Each structure stands twice: as structure tokens, then as C-alpha cells.
Structure 1
């Protein structure tokens, strides 16, 4: 009996359109929801859990995070964070020039880009993931604002093997809540961020020891900037 193909293509197209519309509406709803709540889990956290690294995580609000921690991650990761719209194009251009001449790759991701990747996407360097990262970066800058982006960054970033967020990192390394972190302790956690599984506080890696001193110096320079002060309050 011949297979009836007439009408299958239009039907498949209608189904595909409905799926695309549903996914688009769902991600808008999820984006808006995360302006006030934290993600139940991220793909990176799920990978850590399934990969055997475990998952230590405790979400906390901005009022329960030391101003030193907020300042330290800005100084370490994205000093233009209060001023840009999600992308630091000068740093991107500089990183591209470096990567063309060197085998070691330099990144230029802002805090906003890292939040977009860590909350909504997976780890990797594919063009698809990078394109989605651009989209979600624009969306969170537009829908959330800088304070919420920084708050989310401090709660979902990997800060140790299986350790996610500043509260878990603070307890894991210093046996205290994040609101009680000192300037040096906050700088040490921030110094781990490029690769927290390799750059460790316990035991103290050379990278963390040297970079934390640099971060403290930057904190002294930037702490009185009016735009940064607004984010620390």
C-alpha cells in the first residue's frame, strides 16, 4: 500500500512552527521569572552533579553578600561592567588579536556574558552557543539590569570543584557566610574564577596568591567610583 505523503509536509511545518513559538514564549517567560527567582539548576551544575564533582550551592540575596565580594569580582572579571551594554568590544578586539598570534586563548567575556552562558547555556566554544550567548546577554541587560546580573553571577558561577556561588565558596574555603568575607578573602575567591578547579585557595595556588594581591590593588582604585558604589549597596 503506497504511503500517503500528501499533506505530511504542511503538517510537519505547522508542528515545527508551534514548537518554535512555544520555545520562544517559554524562554521569554523564563527570562522574566529569573529577574526575581534563581534557576532551579543550570546545565553546568547538572553536568557537575552527573560528572561526579557534586553540587554545593546556596543562593543568597545581595544584602547577604559582602561588598568586598561584589567589588572583587568586578575588579577581577569586568571593570567596565557598570558602563557597557553587555559587551566590552575593545577587550574582544584585543583578545582576537592575541589569539591570532598565540596558541593560548584569551577570553573577553563580560560578567553579563558569563551569566548568560552559565544560566541558560552549556560550556563550549561552538558558534551556536556563542550566538545564543549574544542573544541572552542582550536580553538580561534589557530585562534584569546590572544589580540583578551581578547578583546572579555571584550565585551561579563555579567557584571550586562542585562549588557554585559565593555563599558555598565562602563556607568551603573560610567556614563563614559570604556576608562576612574580608577584602583579602573576597579577592582570593575572585582570583579563582578563570579556572576554579585549577586555581585553588585550599591549597593556595601561586596564581591565586599573586592575582589576589593585584585584585586588592584594583579594589582600592575602583571602590570610590560612583557607578560601582551603586552596585555595592
Structure 2
């Protein structure tokens, strides 16, 4: 009787293990299909956008193609967040080393990593989320061209409380469409990205103005030295 009970337990555990494995594989397959689909289809939302929409009773967001975004806006964001965007495969090793030497993670996260996190994962600094960020980053780098990664990033990034994407941000702060942004306006929008709820692009503080000026110079630099070539002709 005891042996029969043990055999049944082993069978049950084995069946549960196989079910968990199948479920996990189906989940991975579904997420990889999403990665492929989002190469051409705009992500309808992200986990964070959904949670903020529930919390706030709605968000301001409108998808805009990269072709309809002022080129200087794309360069400003890359200059501000990931100047070597065109040169890495998802992870900026030099930035990671510099962050480790500096004792923090600021500046180590690439646009590819931020896009993977924003579209497929949740906010926060847990080790689990950081671990999951790696395969998603590699997946979008393999499946999407750099222009697509930047396009998606610009459309899901948070620019203010309940304001997502460059089109909504351009209208909220400057009263224009994303395609009509000037170099100064674009740089100010890029300057608030690390802290969109604590900074204001419409009434910028001295810090934001100084950072925007630096970003404007950086945008001109990456255009001149070719580091904007992967997303702009």
C-alpha cells in the first residue's frame, strides 16, 4: 500500500512538472510571437500604461510613426538616453562598467533595454525583472531594426503623469505635433525622461534648461559623427 501511494505521488509530481513545463513553453512562445508581431503592429498598451490608466481613469497617448517625428527629437532622445544606440547589440558594456565603478546603475540602461522593459515587463528594480529584461532585449534587437526599437520607445515612454509617447508630450508641453518640434523643444522633452513626474518641459527649471542645452549639443554631435545613422538617413 505504501509503495502504491509513493508511486501515485511520483506520477502526480511528474504530471505537474510536465504541465508546468508545457505552460512555460507556451508562455515563452506567446511572448516571442508578440515580439514578432510588434515589429510591424503598434503595441496597443504596456503593463505600466494599463496600470496608470486604471489608477488615473485614463491616459493621454497617441501613436505616431517615426517618419512623423521631428528628426531632431529622435536624435535628442538618443543623445540623452543612449548615445551609442547604433553601436551596441542591446547592452552598452562600457556604460555598465562605468555604472559599476560609480556604484550605481544610472546611465547603464540602453534604449533597447528600456523598450523591452516598458513593453513586456513591469516597473521596479527587482532582480527578477532585470533578469527577464535580458532575453527580451536580445529578442527585440534580433527581430526589430533599430528604427523600430526607437519608434516604439518614443511611443511608450512616460513624459508626465498620464502622458505617454512623444506625440502626446509635444502637444501637452509645446502645443504642436511631434513632427513640428524644434531643437530646443525636443531637447527639453528628452531632458525630462529620467524623471518625467519631477521635471517640466513647459516651464523648465534651471537644471532642465542646462541639461537640455547639453542634449542639444549631443544631438548635433551624434548626427555629425554618424551615431544617428542606424535610425536616420
Q: Please report the TM-score for the alignment, with normalisation by the length of structure 1.
A: 0.91
Secondary structure at 2:168's aligned position in 1? helix
The alpha-carbon deviation at position 216 of structure 1 amounts to 1.1
Structure 2 segments unaligned to the other structure (5+ residues): none
C-alpha deviations, 1:102-125, integer Å up to 9, x for none? xxx634101111101111111111
Secondary structure at 1:159's aligned position in 2? strand
Which whole-Å CA distance do the structure 2 matches of 1:231 and 1:217 have between them?
Answer: 18
> Superposition pairs for residues 169-208 of structure 1, below 5 Å?
169-208=169-208
Q: Give the match for residue 214 of structure 1.
A: 214
Q: Give the match for residue 78 of structure 1.
A: 82
Q: Give the match for residue 88 of structure 1.
A: 92
C-alpha deviations, 1:141-199, integer Å up to 9, x for none? 11102111011111111111111111010011111110111111100100011111001
Alpha carbons 1:191, 1:207 under 8 Å: kept: no
Secondary structure at 1:229's aligned position in 2? coil
C-alpha deviations, 1:185-224, integer Å up to 9, x for none? 1001000111110011233223221111111111222222
Count of aligned pairs between the two proteins: 227
Which whole-Å CA distance do the structure 2 matches of 1:67 and 1:124 have between them?
Answer: 31
Q: Give the match for residue 117 of structure 1.
A: 117
Which whole-Å CA distance do the structure 2 matches of 1:144 and 1:224 have between them?
Answer: 25
Q: Please report the TM-score for the alignment, with normalisation by the length of structure 2.
A: 0.91
Structure 1: 4+ residue segments shifted above 3 A: none
Q: Give the match for residue 108 of structure 1.
A: 108
Secondary structure at 1:31's aligned position in 2? helix
Q: Give the match for residue 159 of structure 2.
A: 159
Q: Give the match for residue 47 of structure 2.
A: 43
Which whole-Å CA distance do the structure 2 matches of 1:47 and 1:27 have between them?
Answer: 20
Alpha carbons 2:83, 2:227 under 8 Å: kept: no
Asked whether 1:67 is paired with 2:62, we answer no
Secondary structure at 1:231's aligned position in 2? coil
Which whole-Å CA distance do the structure 1 matches of 2:58 and 2:100 have between them?
Answer: 35
Say what the alpha-carbon RMSD is for the aligned residues.
Answer: 1.8
Q: Give the match for residue 57 of structure 1.
A: 61
Which whole-Å CA distance do the structure 1 matches of 2:12 and 2:139 have between them?
Answer: 36
Structure 1 segments unaligned to the other structure (5+ residues): none
Which whole-Å CA distance do the structure 1 matches of 2:78 and 2:119 have between them?
Answer: 18
